[in-house]
Homo-oligomer: A and B are copies of this chain.
Amino acid sequence: MADEFRLIADLFAPLAAGFPGALGLKDDAALLAAEAGTETVVTVDAMVAGVHFLPDDLPELIARKLVRVNLSDLAAKGAVPFAVLLAAAFPQRIDDDWLRRFAAGLAEDLTRFAVALIGGDTVATPGPLTLSLTALGRVAAGRALLRSQAQLGDTIWVSGTIGDGFLGLAAARGALTGLDQADVATLADRYHLPRPRTTLGPALIGVAHAAMDVSDGLVQDLGHICRASAVAAVIEAERVPLSAAAQATNSPLASLLTGGDDYELLFTAPFRAAAALTRIGEAAGVPLTAIGRIVAGEGVTVVDAAGQALAIGQGGWRHFAKGDAWPV
């Protein structure tokens, strides 16, 4: 790996340009200046080949997904991203061409989102490719969006469409037979390249109450907001926005609401904010949809158009008595 380590250093150094505190990636650590009136938001996500991405996924796409997944966490806090650090454990079989393509993908998305690579560590592993990215963003002090701020009566909103990431994994694996090729490509793209809502997130500060990004699945993640805020949530199933490609799959709604990998923003806001949110979504270039409301109690309930509660069972969705919650 000795030569590869040198190559990595050569490939990564330009990604630190423009950030003096990165010390050219030639020191043991990076320096972050304090900005009065701000807080730094820091998050870390790990990805393992065969677990979080397919081992044969294109190296460019692996790098870009790694960046985007982390920027999505920052967007959910309302933070503007500015830097990342990469810890990478590379298996021996990774060659120069793979590394060049990985670095190219990293460069493309770091440039796109105006983020610098300011540090990291590269090691060899006898196991699968394992990547860990630490991402740093900035937010006005005391203004970060938290999971714990949902309030009774809040409307629940979600950005973009739900279920595409989950379906995209199936599409990338070639498991979506019978679907139009354009739809397959659209869904696979959504799986490989999440859209971190980096413009939307900061725009929600002062408007949204609670927020997070949807990575585990809409229902599970809304459950996190409910627990952190000591409230319950009701989702109206028919309001959940689905892409045309997702609708074409005729997948059970249960899969789409619990499948994960959406990387959309899920947030709550007072009823009076509806008009402002529509404008914010338009300005950010991403549709926002009201899908439910925050109520007293515990857990997340999904209801159909008639107000009947749906619950997930072994075989999919089944009807429950109205009001039964599904604690997650």
Contacts and interface: CB of A to CB of B under 8 A. Distances in A.
A34 B33 CA distance: 9
Q: Is the interface of A mostly helix, strand, loop or mixed?
A: strand
Interface stretch (A38-46, A234-242, A297-305, A316-324): A38-46
B124 A126 contact: no
B132 A42 contact: no
Interface in A47-94: 47-48, 50-52, 73-74, 76-77, 79, 85-89
Contacts of A31: 39-41, 77, 139, 144
A307 interface: no
Given A34-B141, A76-B28, A87 B42 contact: no
B141 A46 contact: no
A273 B144 CA distance: 46
A128 B123 CA distance: 13
A32 B42 contact: yes
B212 A42 contact: no
A39 to B, nearest CB: 5
A43 B118 CA distance: 9
A29 interface: yes
Counting from the closest, the 9 A-B pairs by CB-CB distance are A127-B127, A29-B43, A87-B132, A132-B132, A46-B87, A34-B34, A32-B40, A28-B73, A134-B134
Nearest to A227: B26
A188 B123 CA distance: 23
Given A76-B28, A124-B51, A125-B127, A40 B45 contact: no
How many protomers of this protein does the assembly include? Answer: 2
A215 B36 CA distance: 35
A89 B123 CA distance: 14
B46 A132 contact: yes
A10 B73 CA distance: 22
Interface of A: 21, 23, 26-48, 50-52, 73-74, 76-77, 79, 85-89, 118-128, 130, 132, 134, 136-137, 139, 141, 144, 146-148, 212-213, 224, 228
Contacts of A130: 48, 89, 125, 127, 130
Q: Name, among A28, A130, A144, the residue most crowded by chain B CB atoms within 10 Å (CB to CB).
A: A28
Contacts of A87: 44-46, 87, 132, 134
16 contacts: A26-B224, A26-B228, A28-B212, A28-B213, A30-B42, A32-B39, A34-B141, A42-B136, A44-B120, A46-B89, A48-B126, A121-B132, A125-B127, A127-B130, A132-B132, A134-B134
